[in-house]
Amino acid sequence: MNIAPVAYRYARSVMELAREKGQLDGVQGDMRLVAATCAASRDLQVLLKSPVVKPDAKGRILEKVFGDKVGPVTTSFMGILVRKGREVLLPHVAEAFNELYKQHMGIVTVEVTSAVPLDDKARAQVRTLAQDRHPGRTIDLQEKVDAALIGGLTIRIGDEQVDGTVSRRLADLRREFSKNPYIPAI
């Protein structure tokens, strides 16, 4: 998801407030729940974007959806977003908060996409690679399986990506053969 800069500003504000109140971990759990709920519910996304639905109705709906599942800091923050007419940013703010929380706690997300599920040995090698590049930080390994890769795997650590897939190698070969350096003698 492409997160708007304004969402990071709101997320930083919520993070500071949560730290002041000593509820950082609780708010982080709330924000994970908000992000997952918004991502899973197309109806909720449409509701948040709708200019037809009045802000007070949106606030009541958010209260019913999240009600007692989130803490008071998160509830009041959602109320502020609705009052300011920024409720459409709620999923983005939740994602931004989760990213900022990981940075604050020293957690590095490592996304591994492979053609088949990783075994324990491969998982340990990926962790070692990530630990070498980011010493002293906690590694959050997220695995995905994509059969279209044919073989090999793609590792994304922050902004870095290592692509060792068969499909990538085939694409490189295809590109090399398309250059056709042969010049016929006339």
55-59 long-range contacts (CB < 8 A, ≥24 apart) are 55/82, 55/83, 55/85, 55/87, 56/82, 58/82, 58/87, 59/83
Amino acid at 61: I
Whole-structure pTM value: 0.77
Domains of the chain: which residue ranges?
Answer: 5-103, 106-179
Provide the CATH number for the domain formed by 106-179 in this structure. 3.40.30
Pick the closest to residue 27 from 75, 79, 91 (CA basis): 75
Nearest to 66 by CA among 30, 102, 101, 94: 30
Q: What is the pLDDT along the chain (186 residues), one digit of tens a residue?
A: 578 889 999 999 999 999 999 999 999 999 999 999 999 999 999 999 999 999 999 999 999 999 889 999 999 999 999 999 999 999 999 999 999 999 999 999 999 999 899 999 999 999 998 899 889 899 999 999 998 888 888 999 878 888 888 888 888 888 888 887 777 776
Architecture of domain 5-103: Orthogonal Bundle (1.10)
